[in-house]
Amino acid sequence: MLINETLSKLREMKLSSMAASLQHQLDSGDFAELPFEDRLSMVVDAEWASRKSNRIKRLIRRAAYAIPGASLEDIDYHADRKLDKPLIMRMGSGSYLQSNHNLIILGATGSGKTFLACAFGIAANRSGLPVRYIRLPELLHDLALARAEGYYQKALKAYRQVTLLIIDEWLLMPLREAEARDLLDIIDARHKRVSTIFCSQWDVPGWHEKIGEPTLADAICDRIAHDSRVITIQAKDSMRKLKGIQPET
């Protein structure tokens, strides 16, 4: 039958969702009275939705999130956390990405900074934007390795091009001067071009001491602070304690 050849060709062209939708129409009597244009629209929509879903899954996988299941819908607005929900909802819409602003997420260990950052990243993925999640120690190691092996500019370009870069464990430990210089290269390359999320236990005034060299500290902090929105998680207890989860033994 001609229709079988059509289904075969759709699958051969890797239009499997379109083929499945068409097959469903053929197997069901519910579509027989619909106009041809409506039925065609349905099979095209099925393929479009499938491809969009697969692209989002690929973006989430490539981002390498610490919490790949994080979502803005699952944020815990427990009173003790004192989260600014209107601000989070505005940022979740992607407004900061459109204006190339940064986000600084502040909070103590276990307060949920990583979850919130990953949720923002996945929201960006849902809009079709590429994101990269990385801990600062890993970022500095990558840059040092790239410099040693002669592909530093290539590595720098890769970090510059990603639409949203999430840097976790920001300035958890003091930097060596070489690390601070590499970090300035990243910050300067992304400044006013694309957005970065910084997850830190320390507010901006405390960053200078962690960076060390005063000139580098001023340059890094100046480029970040003036283009950033700040979200503070004020809970004294960790999310594990707030949710009543017993620590693993």
pLDDT value at 196 more than 50: yes
pTM of the predicted protein model: 0.83
Confidence at residue 156, expressed as pLDDT on a 0 to 100 scale: 95
- When the pLDDT of each residue in the chain is averaged and rounded to a whole number, the result is 90
Radius of gyration of the chain (CA): 23
The percent of residues above 70 in pLDDT, for the chain, comes to 94
Residues in CB range of 26: below 8 A, 6 or more apart: 3
Task: Look at 122 and 82; give whichever has higher pLDDT.
Answer: 122
Burial-class residue 108 by CB neighbours within 10 Å (0-12, 13-18, 19+).
middle
**First-residue to last-residue Cα distance in the chain:** 64
Q: For 122-138, how does the pLDDT look when each residue is reduced to its tens digit (9 = 90+)? A: 999 999 999 999 999 99
C-alpha 217: how far from its chain's center?
Answer: 26
Listing DSSP states for 120-159 in one string gives: HHHHHHHTT--EEEEEHHHHHHHHHHHHHHT-HHHHHHHH
Confidence at residue 244, expressed as pLDDT on a 0 to 100 scale: 45
Q: For 19-60, how does the pLDDT look when each residue is reduced to its tens digit (9 = 90+)? A: 888 788 888 878 878 888 888 888 888 888 888 888 999 999
Mean pLDDT of 201-223: 93
